Amino acid sequence: MGPRGIVALAVACGVALVAEGEGSRLPVAEAAGAAVVEAAHPVLRDALGRIAKGSETWRRALEALAPTGRRALVLTPDQVVVRDATTGAAGRFDRSDLAEVSPVTEAHGQIRTVLVVVNVERLQDVHERLGSLPGEFLADVERVLAHEVYGHAVPYLEAGHLSGRCADPEPGMPATAACAIRRENVIRAELRLGRRTDAGLGSLALLRRPTLE
Ligand SMILES: [Zn+2]
């Protein structure tokens, strides 16, 4: 399993994510006083806290969203089932996928909740095998969240509609011109996490380790 495999698999693949227990726990958009971006996993929760502390742009965006009641739920693969868009078949999140964003679409394309899945376990596995320092793993978690949450989820929430889609680069297009990567780089700059210039994962610490160069 080389880095190329991760890159290919990290690209959205036409599946819809459904939070487990949907119906009982969702929609949660009206929950009074609830955080705009929420995570149950401690690594993700702590990373969201560090991003909010270090990035004024992130804080301002979330403050502006708070009165709307719209929310992003940051989940781990064990907390979601994946439903195939064409067959409707339900399955588990692909363990080799790194992250995925899925807006919960209501009537007329309206969106109040966006699900963000981050495969913390897989990211941690890769870093452990590479012998990374703990800080490198945590910085990669922040980079992934900057992209998935601020790059993809927040624009959906701001629009409250599918039309808020903020895209990844199309093949042949400069990565830094793509909506989601431009936004990711704003947060990265404020957190001093380096600038992303590619469509893949080349700017994550896990691909900068000497063993992979
Ligand atoms: Zn993306």
How many A from CA of 164 to the centre of ligand 1?
14
Name the residue type at position 56: E
Residue 143 near residue 203 (C-beta atoms within 8 A) = yes
DSSP state of 31: -
CB proximity list for 159: less than 8 A, separation 6 or greater: 111
Average pLDDT, the chain: 82
For residue 135, with 0-12 CB atoms within 10 Å meaning exposed, 13-18 middle and 19 or more buried, which class applies? Answer: exposed
How many A from CA of 118 to the centre of ligand 1?
12
Distance, CA of 199 to CA of 11 (rounded, Å)? 10
How many A from CA of 26 to the centre of ligand 1?
24
How many A from CA of 12 to the centre of ligand 1?
8
Predicted pLDDT at 210: 43
Q: What is the mean pLDDT of residues 125-139?
A: 92
How many A from CA of 86 to the centre of ligand 1?
22
Say what the pTM is.
0.82
Distance, CA of 93 to CA of 77 (rounded, Å)? 6
For ligand 1, an ion, list residues with CB under 5 A. Answer: 168, 180
Q: How confident is the model at residue 79 (pLDDT cuts 50, 70, 90)?
A: confident
Q: What is the pLDDT of residues 31-76, one digit of tens each?
A: 455 799 999 899 999 999 999 999 999 999 999 999 999 999 999 9
Q: What is the mean pLDDT of residues 18-32?
A: 47
